[in-house]
Structure 1
């Protein structure tokens, strides 16, 4: 069969012109230039060797050949349009992103990010799971997750990483604890305290993190891991059953019976790990929104009790430390 250059849009333009009786009104209805309507209809007329429309001062009307053409072409065009719409609906219903998170979704950065994404991509479903940072990275490398939000992870093979925010670490204790009278605490003040953590992935991380920071023999540390939820753990702390470490989400919302104090020089780096190379459009959009949030001004980060990441390294390390110190002062 001879190869034709006629496309679906040619037929759409002919239908619109026939229904409106004017190339100008057809262009307005379709949101295109009038010259595009005229040119595409001329393409069809040139290919079949006859006029589809008769032009006159009031507009256009179909010729007999034009009416015959539309009687056969219109049902096909409508069927294709219906098929495309059905396919779009099915594709939209199947769109989803698999997101792994280390920590609660109440973290200020994440609640802002996913709220903005849902507004921007209402047709994309977000599927969440929670795991440790190493487990999330492994799942991203195996393509079982589209993106993972991790803490204290380094770039590695098989995935890319985007630094999103820094978060101060707080000590959570009962209001009656003697350390509650201080503005901030240091790690050396905490070596003899009884810590409680959960047996969730965040609890495993907290235990390992405390062991590194307290710099004491493991048998001298008092870290108890309990099979409870984060909410129950905080109730145990409020009743004097031990102290624990917490992030900005707990501090922002506050908890009855608990006092939070900043731990000096304690900060966690959070980032997004995702596959290297080309990415699906929804994932690209999520990462674009995340990067945009990470570049907001310091005032926004301070309101969230977070620390803005340094996207550009300054010439002097002292300057960075000084800036971080001033930020921590505002967070107390």
Structure 2
């Protein structure tokens, strides 16, 4: 049994898909499948159930997953400990993150890098457009950025496809389905949040609507995520955004999120690095830690742990939310 096989196994289990896992790991699907098959042969047990939507762990796979995650944490800690003596003094590493990415991964990234005693970490939160400028000016060593238009003149590594969700009020009386087709979502009037005024999401929705030959009813484009969420909850509007932006409201029963399918839509998360020079030893180590953290934790933050549609009618307790006057 090899560490690489355990890392591949954990990534497939968390991604629930060989396709997504191969993109995260930057290996081909046949190579990934071969390593999983070798692991299954060595253990004498099937680790995954395959189905049309992807994969899920078997009972044996669930047991292995608990141990594998613990082993990989120990390996990461050991690697950091062995690398530490090579650094003569603490090296300052500055990582930029877009706000929604920071909400998903900042805490885990900070905790993982804290195991690396040779690094002093500074986290900087800024919009994706500003982050690309900070990378180019060396104000940060590297950054985790969402899609922007135009594309930044930095080196870009595709780290994550963050699925987009159709968001509605939890009080609209509609059965709580886990997904919705793009055509069905397009029948509703939509309000879009665009804090960077980049039109990236609007352009993506318009291009998909044109490809499907359907009309898109966009009523407003506002520069505030909170303002759009308030319109959805209080005035029955609809929106499209990543789940992390509405995670708290969905978990409290105020909003309901449905993953958009046919086609699936996603927002790309990029790792931005300087185009004219390499990274320092500390920054390179932190990059590796960031990739590992995102691979292990993406399913937890990018999708709901469970959806209210799985419960019986009336079984979901919706907590009343205190109302705050909204100025738009």
Q: TM-score, normalised by structure 2?
A: 0.53
Q: Following TM superposition, by how much is the alpha carbon of 1:174 offset from its aligned partner in structure 2, in angstroms?
A: 0.8
Gaps of 5+ in 1: 1-87, 308-328
Gaps of 5+ in 2: 1-87, 311-328
Question: Match of 1:106, SS?
Answer: helix
Q: Following TM superposition, by how much is the alpha carbon of 1:179 offset from its aligned partner in structure 2, in angstroms?
A: 5.3
Report which of the two structures shows the higher radius of gyration computed on alpha carbons.
1
Structure 1 residues 175 and 160: CA distance shift in structure 2, 3 A: same
Distance 1:157 1:127 in 2: 18
Distance 1:273 1:224 in 2: 31
Q: Is the 8 A contact 1:152 1:270 kept in 2?
A: yes
Distance 2:193 2:281 in 1: 37
Structure 1 residues 292 and 159: CA distance shift in structure 2, 3 A: same
> Aligned pair 1:159/2:158, yes or no?
no
Match of 2:220 in 1: 224
Distance 1:139 1:128 in 2: 11
**What's the Cα RMSD here?**
3.9
Distance 2:199 2:272 in 1: 20
Give the length in aligned residue pairs: 212
Q: Following TM superposition, by how much is the alpha carbon of 1:202 offset from its aligned partner in structure 2, in angstroms?
A: 7.3
Q: Following TM superposition, by how much is the alpha carbon of 1:123 offset from its aligned partner in structure 2, in angstroms?
A: 3.0
Q: TM-score, normalised by structure 1?
A: 0.52
Report Cα offsets for 1:133-181 as digits up to 9, x if no partner: xx53344234344222223479x89533333222211111112446554
Structure 1 residues 158 and 164: CA distance shift in structure 2, 3 A: same
Q: Is the 8 A contact 1:203 1:225 kept in 2?
A: no
Q: Is the 8 A contact 1:164 1:290 kept in 2?
A: no
Instruction: Map 1:1-332 to 2 at 5 A.
Output: 95-101=92-98, 103-107=100-104, 109-120=105-116, 123-132=120-129, 135-152=130-147, 159-177=154-172, 180-201=175-196, 204-215=199-210, 221-227=217-223, 229-250=224-245, 252-255=247-250, 256-264=253-261, 265-276=264-275, 277-296=277-296, 300-305=297-302
Distance 2:147 2:243 in 1: 16
Distance 2:108 2:169 in 1: 30
Distance 2:280 2:139 in 1: 14
Report Cα offsets for 1:59-108 as digits up to 9, x if no partner: xxxxxxxxxxxxxxxxxxxxxxxxxxxxx9xx86x93515142635212x
Q: Is the 8 A contact 2:170 2:254 kept in 1?
A: yes
Q: Is the 8 A contact 2:194 2:225 kept in 1?
A: no
